[in-house]
C-alpha cells in the first residue's frame, strides 16, 4: 500500500460552497495578506497553509469514497458515494477509454450516500473494464440496480458495459484482493454496516464509517480494538459530538471524535482520520473539531501519541 | 473513583474524586443510582461536585447523560460544579456544557437551586 486518497468525505448528503462562502474566503485571505510579499509560489502555499480550511480551502462536499493506492495496476476503493464520480473522471483521463482497468470496491453499506456515485461512474459504462463490488450485504446488486432504474435515473444498470461482479464477504473471514489481506467486522448502523481492515506487509489501514460505538459492553468493543490494532491509519466516522451521539442522536448509527480517540488509543493505532463529516458543519466548525480532538487526544493519552486529522476531498496520506 | 454524598436542605451533593474512565464507569453508575432514585421519590435536586475529578472519558460522560435523562424525565434538576480545568475542557469538547448545568462551585450550584440549601451549606462552612 502506497497511500490513501480521499475522493469524498462528507456524511449523508453532498454539499457545496456557495458564492458568498467563496467570496468570504477570498476577502479574508486578501485582508490577511496585506503588507506581505511572497518570493515564490512555495512561500505563498506555506502561508496559505497557516490560514486553515475555513479561510484557504474546504473540507469538501462529496460523500464517501476513499481510494487505497496499492502501487499495482488494479484500483481499490471503499464506497461509492458522490466522490466516485471525480475518481472515475481521473481514471478515465489517465488511461483513456480503450485501456481496460479493474476496480475493486468494498462497500460499508447500501445507504444512499454510499452508493449514489455509481450511476455517474463512467468506467462502469465502458466495455472491457471490470468492476468487482465486495460487501457483507446480500442486496448490493439489488440496491445498485434499483437506483439506476426508472424513475430514479435515466440510464439503466443494463447499459453498463463493464463486467460487473458482486462478491459476498463474511465478517470474521480473511480475503486476498489485489494483493491486500482484507477482513471485516459488522458494525452498529441501521441495516448494518461493515468496517474493513486492509493489510499488506507491515502496513494496515482501517476504513470504519457509519458505525456507532457505545463502548458499554466489552464484547462489542473488542472486535473494533482488534480491527484497529496497530493500524497506520484509521478512517473513522466522527459525524456527531459525543453529547449528540448519546442523546438526541443515539442509535442513529454514527460516532464521535472522542470515541474515535479512545478506540485508537486502546488499539495503539497511529493516525485517526475524522471522516463522514456532518453536512451542517462548515469548514470553521470542522477546523475547531480537529483542534479539540487533538487536545482531547493529549488529555486522554496514556501511551504513544496518536496523530489526528480531518479528511478532506483531495487529501492524500502516504503510507 | 470515590463517591460520597451529603444533604443540604432538599439538595443532595455527590462528591466524586479520581478518574471517571472506562474501568470506573460501572462504579460511578452504581454510586449515582441511589441518589437519582432518591430524587425520583422526594424530588431532591442533585449537584455533582467534580472538584476531585482529574479526568472523565466518554464512558464517564455517558453515565452522566443517563443520570441527566433520568432526573429530567422526572422534572428534577441536576448540576455539575467545581470542574477542574481539564474536566471543564473535556465537557466543552464533548458539548456536555449543554447537557448539564455547570457552576463554578458547589455553593454557586446550591444558590441556583435552593435558598435553603445554600443557607445550610453556609451554616456548615462556618
Residue ranges of domains in chain A = 3-16+57-318
pLDDT at B43: 87
A293: chain B residues, CB-CB within 8 Å: 93
Q: Is A239 exposed, middle or buried (0-12, 13-18, 19+ CB in 10 A)?
A: buried
What is the tens place of the pLDDT at every residue in B50-64? 999 999 999 999 999
What is the tens place of the pLDDT at every residue in B94-117? 999 888 999 999 999 999 999 999
Asked whether residue B126 is assigned to any structural domain, the reply reads no
Which of B61, B65, B89 is opposite residue A295, by nearest beta carbon? B89
**pLDDT band at B80, cuts 50/70/90?**
very high
The C-alpha angle with vertex A15 and arms to A12 and A17, in degrees rounded to 5, equals: 160
Q: Which residue has the cell 464512558?
A: B59
Q: How far apart, in whole angstroms, are the C-alpha atoms of residue A296 and residue A274?
A: 14
Residue B4 touches chain A, beta carbons under 8 Å: no
B92: chain A residues, CB-CB within 8 Å: 292
pLDDT at A179: 96
B84: chain A residues, CB-CB within 8 Å: none
Question: From the CA of A162, how many Å to the nearest CA of chain B?
Answer: 47
pLDDT at B39: 82
pLDDT at A218: 87
Q: How far apart, in whole angstroms, are the C-alpha atoms of residue A214 and residue A216?
A: 5
Calculate the alpha carbon distances from B68 to B20, B51, B55 in Å.
16, 19, 19
**pLDDT band at B93, cuts 50/70/90?**
very high
- CATH of region A3-16+57-318: 3.60.15.10
Asked whether residue B113 is assigned to any structural domain, the reply reads no
Asked whether residue B12 is assigned to any structural domain, the reply reads yes
**Which residue range is the domain that position B81 belongs to?**
2-106
**pLDDT band at B40, cuts 50/70/90?**
confident
pLDDT at A118: 98
- The answer to whether the bond into A151 is cis (omega within 30° of 0) is yes
| Helices B115-125/B106-113 angle, 10° precision | 150
Partners of A166 in beta bridges: A133
Asked whether residue B22 is assigned to any structural domain, the reply reads yes
A243: chain B residues, CB-CB within 8 Å: 61, 65, 94-96, 98-99
Residue pair A80/A120 in contact by the 8 Å Cβ criterion: no
pLDDT at B125 over 80: no
Asked whether residue B123 is assigned to any structural domain, the reply reads no
Looking at residue B18, which CATH number applies to its domain?
A: 3.30.750.24
Residue ranges in chain A whose pLDDT is less than 50: none
Q: Which residues of B85-116 are buried (b: 16+ CB within 10 A; e: fewer)?
A: eebbbbbebbbbeebbbbbeebbbbbbbbbee
What 3-state class would DSSP assign to A254? coil
Which of B22, B58, B69 is opposite residue A242, by nearest beta carbon? B58
Find which of A212, A242, A262, A296 to mutate to test the B interface (most B CBs within 10 Å of its CB).
Answer: A242
A293 sits in which H/E element: helix A283-300
Structural domains of chain B, count? 1
Amino acid at each position: 500500500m502506497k497511500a490513501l486518497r480521499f475522493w469524498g468525505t462528507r456524511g449523508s448528503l453532498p454539499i457545496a460552497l456557495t458564492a458568498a462562502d467563496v467570496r468570504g474566503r477570498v476577502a479574508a485571505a486578501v485582508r490577511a495578506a496585506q503588507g506581505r510579499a511572497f518570493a515564490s509560489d512555495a512561500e505563498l502555499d506555506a502561508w496559505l497553509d497557516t490560514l486553515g480550511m475555513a479561510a484557504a480551502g474546504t473540507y469538501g462536499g462529496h460523500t464517501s469514497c476513499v481510494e487505497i493506492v496499492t502501487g499495482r495496476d488494479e484500483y481499490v476503493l471503499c464506497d461509492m458515494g458522490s466522490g466516485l464520480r471525480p475518481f472515475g473522471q481521473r481514471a478515465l483521463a489517465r488511461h483513456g477509454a480503450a485501456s481496460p482497468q479493474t476496480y475493486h470496491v468494498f462497500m460499508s453499506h447500501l445507504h444512499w450516500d454510499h452508493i449514489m456515485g455509481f450511476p455517474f461512474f463512467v468506467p462502469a459504462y465502458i466495455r472491457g473494464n471490470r468492476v468487482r463490488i465486495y460487501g457483507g450485504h446480500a442486496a448490493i446488486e439489488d440496491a445498485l440496480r434499483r437506483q439506476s432504474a426508472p424513475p430514479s435515473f435515466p440510464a439503466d444498470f443494463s447499459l453498463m458495459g463493464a463486467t460487473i461482479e458482486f462478491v459476498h464477504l463474511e465478517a470474521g473471514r480473511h480475503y486476498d484482493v489485489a494483493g491486500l489481506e482484507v477482513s471485516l467486522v459488522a458494525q452498529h448502523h441501521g441495516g448494518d454496516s461493515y468496517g474493513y481492515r486492509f493489510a499488506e506487509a507491515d502496513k494496515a489501514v482501517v476504513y470504519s464509517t457509519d458505525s456507532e460505538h457505545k463502548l458499554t459492553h466489552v464484547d462489542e468493543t473488542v472486535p473494533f480494538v482488534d480491527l484497529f490494532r496497530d493500524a497506520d491509519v484509521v478512517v473513522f466516522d466522527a459525524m456527531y459530538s459525543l453529547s449528540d451521539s448519546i442523546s438526541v442522536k443515539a442509535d442513529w448509527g454514527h460516532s464521535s471524535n472522542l470515541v474515535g480517540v479512545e478506540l485508537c488509543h486502546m488499539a495503539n493505532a497511529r493516525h485517526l482520520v475524522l471522516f463522514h463529516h456532518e453536512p451542517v458543519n462548515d469548514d470553521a466548525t470542522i477546523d475547531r473539531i480537529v483542534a479539540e480532538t487533538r487536545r482531547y487526544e493529549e488529555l486522554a493519552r496514556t501511551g504513544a501519541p496518536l496523530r489526528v486529522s480531518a479528511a478532506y476531498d483531495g487529501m492524500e496520506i502516504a503510507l | 473513583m470515590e463517591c460520597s454524598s451529603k444533604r443540604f436542605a432538599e439538595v443532595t451533593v455527590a462528591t466524586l474524586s479520581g478518574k471517571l474512565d472506562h474501568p470506573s464507569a460501572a462504579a460511578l453508575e452504581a454510586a449515582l443510582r441511589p441518589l437519582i432514585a432518591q430524587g425520583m421519590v422526594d424530588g431532591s435536586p442533585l449537584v455533582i461536585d467534580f472538584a476531585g475529578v482529574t479526568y472523565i472519558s466518554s464512558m464517564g460522560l455517558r453515565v452522566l447523560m443517563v443520570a441527566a435523562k433520568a432526573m429530567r424525565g422526572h422534572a428534577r434538576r441536576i448540576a455539575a460544579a467545581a470542574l477542574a480545568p481539564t474536566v471543564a475542557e473535556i465537557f466543552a469538547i464533548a458539548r456536555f456544557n449543554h447537557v448539564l448545568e455547570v457552576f463554578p462551585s458547589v455553593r454557586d450550584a446550591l444558590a441556583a437551586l435552593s435558598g435553603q440549601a445554600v443557607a445550610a451549606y453556609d451554616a456548615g462552612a462556618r
